[in-house]
């Protein structure tokens, strides 16, 4: 019943927003929504489809020097605009994508990433350590500059990830360790349909202009911007509709689970990524050259003309 109530609230809010000439900033009770999601997840665990790994809880953090480092890493993970402010460029948080402080299955949880590094990544064609992977998140997703590998900040991230991964299998990923695997859309993805689905399912949190909702009285976002100058840049993984659709399908709308069809998830991902955002840091002056080198995926929209504008040419 709570899930249905939240869906009805979202729909009602969306209708009100559509009538506004200027984008409104609608307060949303994230804790209440997260509680509804957690109940749905508990139902999943008792349905015979349980995730074969459960990370420790905050209460399990030891009262030791190592535990203090773990807490520092968790704080920086959830609030980098405060605890890693010298390195972030857009005030997004790691937990905007890696939900529930990096614990939630099918939202790229850190207990699914830490145990498989070092590993080769096709993105930069080299074997990456976990520190290198985190640096990439700062460069692309947070549109900033990476902290040094030997900094206390980076050490705190590694401590948090190691603690979170206690008991996880080394060198392989259990169920839920990555994004949900989503096949190509049943029909060609549509930006127009995506705009309609966004208005119905996403706008109440991320707002009609896609610029999200900031925390009250402190840096960072309660609900992150999905495009524009304060969003992730054209080099981030989420700019790819295939990755975005997989994330959206399993995790959005926030507080609900598996509400959207595969087609709707794809359409929203296309709509979301049909807007300009900060430039790919690997850009050397030519959008098509950058597309050919780094954006070869059949669904990638960087360098593609949308509504008369080649995406990337007017990047921030």
**pTM across the whole model:** 0.83
Domain boundaries, given as residue ranges, for the chain: 2-37+180-310, 55-164
What pLDDT does 256 receive?
82
Evaluate whether 2-37+180-310 and 55-164 have a shared fold.
yes
The CATH number of the domain covering residues in 2-37+180-310: 1.10.760.10
Judge: domain 55-164, CATH 1.10.760.10: yes
What pLDDT, in 10s, does the model give residues 6-42?
343 343 333 333 333 333 434 445 455 445 444 444 4
pLDDT tens across the length of the chain (316 residues): 433 333 433 433 333 333 333 334 344 454 554 454 444 444 444 444 556 788 999 999 999 999 999 999 999 999 999 999 999 999 999 999 999 999 999 999 999 999 999 999 989 899 999 999 999 999 999 999 999 999 999 999 999 999 999 999 898 888 888 888 899 999 999 999 999 999 999 999 999 999 999 999 999 999 999 999 999 999 999 999 999 999 999 999 988 878 999 999 999 999 999 999 999 999 999 999 999 999 988 999 999 999 999 999 999 9
Q: Report the 3 state secondary structure along the chain.
A: CHHHHHHHHHHHHHHHHHCCCCCCCCCCCHHHHHHHHHHHHHHHHCCCCCCCCCCCCHHHCCCCHHHHHHHHHHHHHHCHHHHCCCCCCCCCCHHHCCHHHHCCCCCCCHHHHHHHCCEEECCCCEEECHHHHHHHHHHHHCCCCCCCCCCHHHHHHHHHHHHHCCCCCCCCCCCCCCCCCCCCCCCCCCHHHHHHHHHHHCHHHHCCCCCCEECCCCCCEEECCCCCCCCCCCCCHHHCHHHHHHHHHHHCCCCCCCCCCHHHHHHHHHHHCCCCCCCCCCCCCCHHHHHHHHCCCCCCCCCCEECCEECCCCCC
């Amino acid at each position: 019943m709570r899930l249905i109530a939240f869906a009805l609230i979202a729909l009602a809010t969306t209708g009100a927003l559509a009538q506004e000439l200027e984008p409104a900033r609608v307060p949303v009770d994230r804790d209440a929504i997260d509680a509804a999601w957690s109940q749905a997840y508990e139902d999943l665990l008792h349905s015979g489809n349980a995730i074969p790994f459960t990370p420790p809880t905050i209460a399990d953090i030891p009262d030791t020097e190592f535990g203090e480092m773990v807490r520092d890493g968790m704080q920086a993970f959830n609030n980098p605009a405060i605890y890693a402010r010298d390195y972030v460029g857009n005030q997004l948080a790691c937990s905007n994508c890696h939900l529930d402080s990096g614990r939630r299955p099918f939202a790229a949880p850190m207990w699914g990433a830490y145990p498989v590094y070092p590993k080769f990544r096709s993105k930069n064609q080299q074997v990456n350590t976990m520190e290198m992977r985190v640096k990439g998140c700062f460069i692309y997703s947070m549109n900033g500059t990476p902290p040094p590998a030997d900094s206390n900040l980076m050490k705190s991230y590694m401590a948090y990830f190691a603690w979170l991964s206690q008991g996880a299998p080394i060198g392989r990923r259990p169920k839920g360790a990555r994004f949900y695997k989503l096949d190509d859309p049943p029909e060609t993805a549509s930006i127009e349909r995506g705009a309609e689905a966004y208005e119905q399912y996403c706008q109440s949190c991320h707002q009609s202009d896609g610029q999200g909702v900031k925390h009250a009285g402190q840096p960072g976002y309660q609900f992150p911007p999905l495009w524009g100058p304060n969003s992730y840049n054209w080099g981030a993984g989420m700019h790819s509709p295939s990755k975005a659709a997989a994330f959206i399908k399993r995790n959005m709308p926030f507080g609900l689970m598996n509400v959207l069809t595969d087609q709707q998830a794809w359409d929203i991902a296309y709509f979301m990524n049909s807007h300009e955002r900060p430039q790919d840091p690997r850009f050397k002056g030519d959008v098509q050259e950058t597309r050919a080198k780094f954006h070869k995926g059949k669904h990638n929209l960087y360098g593609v003309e949308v509504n008369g504008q080649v995406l990337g040419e007017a990047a921030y």
